[in-house]
A and B are shown apart, each in its own frame.
Chain A
Amino acid sequence: MAQETTYYKPEDLKKFGNIGEFEPDLAKKFFDYYGSVFADGALSAKEKSLIALAVAHVVQCPYCIDAYTTDTLEKGATEEQLWEAIHVGAAIRSGSTLVHSVQALNKVKELGV
């Protein structure tokens, strides 16, 4: 058999619900909370799904990218909407890297280079 080259297996996504096997109470609380978070509210379920897709890219979770790409399509999102959401995540990630350079700038000045 070919050697596994990754810890991530697409079929494991379907087993997400099994995480309650050894700790059902906390898992139930999590899934109840999760369900409430993604229900239609002040933001529509579709908007929430697009946010989830952006965050999935930022935290680089392949399971969530898989799940929320499908979910946004199911909710009728356009490809443009998917990619704009992903770019929002990317912009925040790069912006948050760059904004820390203010600290570097301060240090450079403090050291009087």
Chain B
Amino acid sequence: MKSLLARGSELASSKEQLKILTEVSEKLNLPSFSAKLKEAGLFPLRPTGVDILQVNVGKLCNQTCRHCHVDAGPDRREIMTRETMQECLVALATPGVTTLDITGGAPEMNPNFRWFVEEASKFGKKIMIRCNLTILLAGEKYRDLPEFFAEHKVEVVSSLPYFQKRRTDAQRGEGVFDRSIEALRKLNSLGYGIANSGLVLNLVYNPVGAFLAGGQSTLENDFKKELKQVHDVQFNSLFALTNMPISRFLESLLENGNIDAYLEKLVTAFNPVAATGVMCRNTLSVGWDGSLYDCDFNQMLDMKIEGTVSKISEFNKSVLDSREILLHQHCYGCTAGAGSSCGGSIA
């Protein structure tokens, strides 16, 4: 499969995606997300503070998952330069910024990835890497990445949509499950995911279809039991995420005729408690070209942050801490049920 962009799909345009979300909401008479936040006394939504810098180092990826909100893939060429990474490092040095969260695409495919991690690790702050697992088996160039992660005490966060082959491969591509298990075993062999090793390996679950992720702790137990018993694989925590109705997941919702029901479900499941903990409140998202966004989803929808600071080179924590977060109907994905952020359930 190719990215939406490479296929010339209308959905590659963020304007088109937002238009569809607006039209469906109007047709179904769904309240705007802002109105819902007003009811909950949370509007305008403001950050609690920029603690986490989430840097998207590019859209290039070795996979083309069906639900990808980045529309990433081998055909994407957008890549963060070393200069922009340097600007991110300056921002990371700011007191109060505790964590660097590196994402993509497959961030490891950025030629400056290792340099970035090495430089960032000098600050003694937490570094997380969103690793799709299969990249660790994608050739000589990547084979020693697990050792590299361990050496820099990087926290590895890996997607594994399900503990069985069928659903995982349906979402992420044929053979992805088996290769993911092999990569997980490699990480385990270095101590990743093993209690008290100091090396953290977390997995990310997201539903393979148009339904929500319920019961993170039950799911974590099921994943732990099944992966240990059947595959001899261990990990620390499971983060259950909701699929965002944007980009390639939006495409599949439109193809299956599930868009109305899914959006309605997200709205019906709105949880004000989850709304207080959405990730845009403590995270700032940086795009491959250094532009700033409230979150990775707003980034993919081209919704740049409000205010005077627009690039990572202009990073100013106090200005950013008091900005107003931009919202649209996709935000319901963060507040449905137990809520969903990069760190899993939030309520």
Q: Hey, which bits of chain A sit against chain B, CB under 8 A?
A: 14, 44-46, 70-71, 73-76, 78-79
Chain B nearest Cβ from A70, distance in angstroms? 5
Q: Among B207, B218, B268, which residue has its beta carbon within 8 angstroms of that of A45?
A: B218
Question: When the two chains form their complex, are residues B215 and A46 in contact, meaning their CB atoms are under 8 A apart?
Answer: yes
Q: Among B166, B207, B209, B218, which residue has its beta carbon within 8 angstroms of that of A46?
A: B218
B interface residues, how many (CB within 8 angstroms): 15
Question: When the two chains form their complex, are residues B209 and A78 in contact, meaning their CB atoms are under 8 A apart?
Answer: no
Q: B115 an interface residue at 8 Å Cβ cutoff?
A: no
Q: Which residues of B contact A78 (CB under 8 A)?
A: 164
* Extra inter-chain contacts (16) besides given A70-B211, A73-B209, CB under 8 Å: A14-B264, A14-B268, A44-B218, A45-B215, A45-B218, A46-B215, A73-B207, A74-B213, A74-B214, A75-B214, A75-B215, A76-B214, A76-B218, A76-B219, A76-B222, A79-B166
Q: Which residues of A contact B215 (CB under 8 A)?
A: 45-46, 74-76
Q: Which of B191-223 contact A (CB under 8 A)?
A: 205, 207, 209, 211-215, 218-219, 222
Q: Which residues of B contact A70 (CB under 8 A)?
A: 211
Q: Which residues of B contact A74 (CB under 8 A)?
A: 207, 211-215
Compute how far the CA of A74 lies from the CA of B212 in the bound complex, rounded to whole angstroms.
6
Chain A nearest Cβ from B288, distance in angstroms? 34
Compute how far the CA of A71 lies from the CA of B268 in the bound complex, rounded to whole angstroms.
15
Q: Which residues of A contact B213 (CB under 8 A)?
A: 74
Compute how far the CA of A53 lies from the CA of B268 in the bound complex, rounded to whole angstroms.
22
Compute how far the CA of A75 lies from the CA of B338 in the bound complex, rounded to whole angstroms.
12
Compute how far the CA of A17 lies from the CA of B262 in the bound complex, rounded to whole angstroms.
19
Nearest 3 CB-CB pairings of A with B? A74-B214, A76-B219, A74-B211
Compute how far the CA of A38 lies from the CA of B229 in the bound complex, rounded to whole angstroms.
28
Q: Which residues of B contact A46 (CB under 8 A)?
A: 215, 218
Q: Which residues of B contact A14 (CB under 8 A)?
A: 264, 268
Q: Which of B252-269 contact A (CB under 8 A)?
A: 264, 268
Q: Which residues of A contact B164 (CB under 8 A)?
A: 78
Compute how far the CA of A74 lies from the CA of B211 in the bound complex, rounded to whole angstroms.
6
Question: When the two chains form their complex, are residues B218 and A75 in contact, meaning their CB atoms are under 8 A apart?
Answer: yes
Chain A nearest Cβ from B256, distance in angstroms? 14
Compute how far the CA of A79 lies from the CA of B162 in the bound complex, rounded to whole angstroms.
12
Q: Mark B254-296, 1 if CB is under 8 A from A, else 0.
A: 0000000000100010000000000000000000000000000
